A and B are shown apart, each in its own frame.
Chain A
Amino acid sequence: MYPKQEVVAMLLAGGQGSRLGVLTKKLAKPAVPFGGKYRIIDFPLSNCINSGIEAVGVLTQYQPLLLNEYIGNGQPWDLDGMNAGVTCLSPYQAVEGAEWYSGTANAIYQNINYIDRYNPEYVVILSGDHIYKMDYAEMIAFHKKHEADCTIAVIDVSLEEASRFGILNTYENGEIYEFDEKPAVPKSTNASMGIYVFNWNKLRKYLIDDENDPNSDHDFGKNVLPLMLNSGEKMFAYKFDGYWKDVGTIDSLWDANMDILNPHVSLDLKNIYSRNRMLPPHYVGPDAEIQNSLIADGCEVNGKLEFSILFSGVKVGKGAEINSSIIMPGAVIEEGAKVLYSIVSENAHIGKDAVVGGYPEDYPDRDQWGVTVIGDGLNIAQGAVIAPKAMIDKDVEV
């Protein structure tokens, strides 16, 4: 018998994140490095423990090795409690057969047993690909106050952007009367953040109903939420006004990283926990020039750095120039190389005098310019030139 937990969080971390291209070739999107020392999943995991949620199920499916290893026993996030903690939930084989997770709702459905053993009042559904800091306890308090069956966190987006999101139309008190998935003509700018609080007894019933519907895609946004609304359940929108960013594309991932360097953006990294490599402080050489950048432990910087983020253990040679770029753990930028508006993945090697990416102002035709991405562990030969917007997935010779 497990001691009761009032709230259980379920973190959807199984998506491939195909729009991140080479960055998610060998790892799931939530495991993508972010912000100089974190991985994306550190944000929801830290939010959970900072909100007092101690039972967290992480639903993994695509490339789970690194994610499972990274989460481990949950100790870095204090999620290694005696009676609860973090548990990685992969698809499994049962008497009825074995099934992959066929949709977000199906993934939760297949883990009803995991949730039931804590006998919770509420279940929070989270996704593993958003950068934000949020106190879920406040959202749950809102949910209780309105005696809702389901509460969905929303963020105010601009009218132009609204067509890219699931939009919730509400009465003045926040009660939802309509879902509008990616509307051509949005009626409001309340975009769903993919964060849901449910009364477990209600959600449990609807998950089973949805599972029995052969026409359903078993997706929360598409199937379960509309089903609940049409059945007359009380559903509320909870407005969140902090920093929030979906980092599902190369551009948004790059933007969110750059936001950390922007003093006008309200994203601070305090109380975000992560599993750390044990490395010494970083060393800044006598010829280095560093402005407006973020540098983690174990780096050796001998070149010029502007508006950039160096993850742990990055080496930057003399005369190298890094501008507006994100250099992931263990990458090496040799002497004289230029890395401009780029994302260089873990352990990649940029040879001497190579040029990766370019300045947007040098490309009057904006369609020719974009963030350049170099895949994991690749070698870019001495003197090689990689055009802006390129996504490199194999070694480059000259």
Chain B
Amino acid sequence: MGINLAGIIFANVGEENFPELTSNRTMASVPFGGKYRLVDFPLSNMSNSGINNVAIITRKNFHSLLDHVGSGVAWDLSKRRSGLTILSPYGGHSFGHRIEAIYHLHGYFEQLTEKYILLTTSNYVANVDYQKMYERHRKSGADITLMYKNMPVSKNAHDPLVFNVDENDVITQILINPQTEGECACSVGALIIKKDLLMDLVRNCMSKNTLDFRKHLLQDNLGNLKMMGYNFEGSISLIHSVDEYYTENMKLMDKAVRDEIFNPSYPIYTKVRDDAPSKYGLTSVVKGSLVAQGCKIDGEVENCIISKGVHIGKGAKVKNCIIMQDTIIHSGASINYAIIDKDVIVGENKSLSGTDSYPIYIAKQSNI
């Protein structure tokens, strides 16, 4: 039994200040945590919450996304009567704004039998039970329920969204990029709304050519609609920039964070790759690191995230790094504070170093 809720994931939201990893891929397909892509989190959460119909809306750079999600079978979203759909621009329509995309995809929305829609972005890492949020939405009688987390406003986000909520979680004010200090009710990019209401609001915005989702669909309607906040109490990482990408990845070194995000009762699924277990050689020295399968480690590794299929040669020293899949670091190389994208080759005895506040980024397929 599913719930009366369909999921929509926006694959490109939040890319503005994160060109390093998103100039050739969607935010949704940014690698994370050694074996995942960011879209694995919303997809797994939706699947674990009993949502059977999920669409990913993407406007550009979606090759890696298509390759990753395939038929959706890895998330149990490849069903005869429902499942995963990828929605990309067609017929020359612009998907530049979320409102435009939803408007032009009205055909998809109309055929959905679900009465409620969950909209999320794909730049978050968390283990979320959307069923609880849905139940709260139904019980509270809200028109729109928006998920938030009490935390400091991201300095890297493009126009971050902040709510003022009263003691009953009713949203009294919606602020965009406010000057604040300390913890606020920050939007984490997820909301639940009735499908018919969403389509009405979208058509209304289109007719007035007011296309900013946050400003025009949310902020401008706060007076007419009942909007409720939904406080997410778990651990959540929001990613808007390469700095946040680095620090949020590194949070996985904390066992409590790992245990919460990778809760075995609500697993995070990803595309299966048939890697063998990782092999540690006679000369390997590995401390405080997260290592995926298919790796071959003969060098020194400390405080790193090592993704699947990475090779680290004898005598290489890799510290405080995120190394993405199938990258090869030859013997004697020395790397500190770096984010190294997929399929990079770092030659023998080469040296690379960033700093703790400014990790260097090495693009996909570079040969150093």
Assembly CA distance A293 to B286 (angstroms): 12
What 1/0 flags go to A158-195 for Cβ under 8 Å of B?
00000000000000000000000000000000000000
Give every chain A residue within 8 A of B35 (Cβ-Cβ).
280-281, 297
Q: Are B282 and A292 in contact (CB under 8 A)?
A: yes
Contact A280 B33, CB 8 Å, known A37-B293, A294-B279, A296-B293: yes
Inter-subunit contact B288/A284 (CB<8 Å)? yes
Residues of chain B from 236 to 261 with CB closer than 8 A to chain A in the complex: 252-253, 255, 258, 261
B276 lies within 8 A of A37 (CB): yes
Report if A392 contacts B (CB, 8 A): no
Distance between Cα atoms of A208 and B291 in the complex (Å): 55
B350 near A: Cβ within 8 Å? Answer: no
Task: Give chain A residues whose Cβ lies under 8 Å from the Cβ of B276.
Answer: 35-37, 268-270, 272, 294
B277 touches A279 (CB 8 A): no
Provide the bound-state CA to CA distance between A356 and B70, in Å.
46
A206 CB within 8 Å of chain B: no
CA gap between A152 and B134 in the complex, in Å: 62
Chain B residues near A296 (CB-CB < 8 A) = 277-278, 293
Q: Which residue of the partner chain, among B258, B274, B281, B285, contacts A274 with CB atoms under 8 Å?
A: B274
> Could you tell me the distance in whole angstroms from the C-beta of A166 to the nearest C-beta in chain B?
32
Q: For the complex, what is the distance from the CA of A35 to the CA of B279, rounded to whole Å?
A: 11
The reply to whether B286 and A290 form a contact with Cβ atoms under 8 Å apart is yes
Q: Which listed segment binds A: B196-204, B216-224, B262-270?
A: B262-270
How far is B109's CA from A288's CA once the two chains are assembled, in angstroms? 52
In the bound complex, how far is the Cα of B22 from the Cα of A398, in angstroms?
58
Check B289 against A283 for contact (C-beta < 8 Å): yes
Identify the closest chain A residue to B305 (Cβ). A281
25 A-B interface contacts by CB (under 8 A): A36-B276, A37-B276, A75-B73, A261-B279, A269-B276, A272-B276, A273-B274, A276-B272, A278-B267, A279-B264, A280-B34, A280-B35, A280-B258, A280-B261, A280-B262, A281-B34, A281-B307, A283-B253, A286-B287, A286-B288, A290-B286, A291-B282, A291-B284, A294-B280, A296-B293
Q: Are A288 and B292 interface neighbours, CB within 8 A?
A: no
Taking the closest CB of chain B, its distance from the CB of A81, in whole angstroms, is: 15
A residues near B253, Cβ cutoff 8 Å: 283
B290 at the interface (CB under 8 A from A): yes
Contact A37 B277 (CB under 8 A): yes
- Contacts A270-B276, A284-B287, A295-B291 known; A278 to B269 CB distance under 8 Å? yes
Q: Which A285-319 residues sit within 8 Å CB-CB of chain B?
A: 285-297, 300, 305, 309-311
Q: In the complex, are the beta carbons of B274 and A271 less than 8 A apart? A: yes
A309 CA / B293 CA spacing, docked (Å): 13
- Contact flag A35-B280 (CB < 8 Å), given A280-B33, A280-B258: no
Interchain CB contact under 8 A, B292 and A281: yes
A282 within 8 A of B: yes
Contact, CB under 8 Å: A272 / B270: no
A278's contact among B268, B283, B289, B290, by CB below 8 Å, is which?
B268
Closest to A275 in B: B272
Q: Which residue of B lies closest to A298 (CB)?
A: B262
**Size class of the contact patch on chain A:** 35 or more
- Choose among A274, A276, A278, A310 the residue with the greatest number of B CB atoms under 10 Å from its CB: A278
Residues of B with C-beta under 8 A to A291: 280-284
A-contacting residues, B272-330, CB 8 Å = 272, 274, 276-293, 305-308
Please give the distance in Å from A250's CB to the nearest CB on chain B. 21
- A281 close to B280 (CB less than 8 A): no
Partner of B268, one of A272, A280, A286, A289: A280
Residues of B within 8 A of A300 (CB): 255
Chain A residues with CB below 8 A from B269, complex form: 278
Q: Is the CB of A288 within 8 A of B286?
A: yes
Q: Which residue of B lies closest to A294 (CB)?
A: B277
| A274, B274: Cα distance in complex, Å | 7
Whole-angstrom CA separation of A279 from B305 in the bound complex: 15
Contacts of A268 in B (CB 8 A): 276
Question: For A287, what are the chain B residues with a Cβ–Cβ distance below 8 Å?
Answer: 287
Given A37-B276, A276-B272, A294-B277, verify A283-B255 contact (CB < 8 Å). yes
**Chain A residues within 8 Å of B262, by CB:** 279-280
The smallest beta-carbon distance between A266 and chain B, in angstroms, is: 15
Within A319-350, which residues are at the interface with B (CB < 8 Å)?
Answer: none
Task: Identify 16 new A-B residue pairs, CB closer than 8 A, beyond the known A283-B289, A311-B277.
Answer: A37-B276, A75-B73, A268-B276, A270-B276, A279-B264, A280-B35, A280-B290, A281-B306, A281-B307, A283-B258, A283-B290, A284-B287, A286-B287, A291-B281, A294-B277, A294-B279
Q: Which of A271, A281, A305 contacts B33 (CB 8 A)?
A: A281
Q: Given A282-B278, A297-B293, A288–B34 Cβ distance below 8 Å?
A: no
Give B61-73 as 1s and 0s: 1 = Cβ < 8 Å from A's Cβ atoms: 0000000000001
CB closest residue in chain A, given B301:
A284
Q: Shortest beta-carbon distance, B291 to chain A, in Å?
A: 6
Name A313's closest neighbour in chain B (CB-CB): B264
**3 shortest A-B CB distances, which residue pairs?**
A36-B277, A269-B276, A281-B34
Chain A residues near B280 (CB, 8 Å)?
A: 290-295, 305
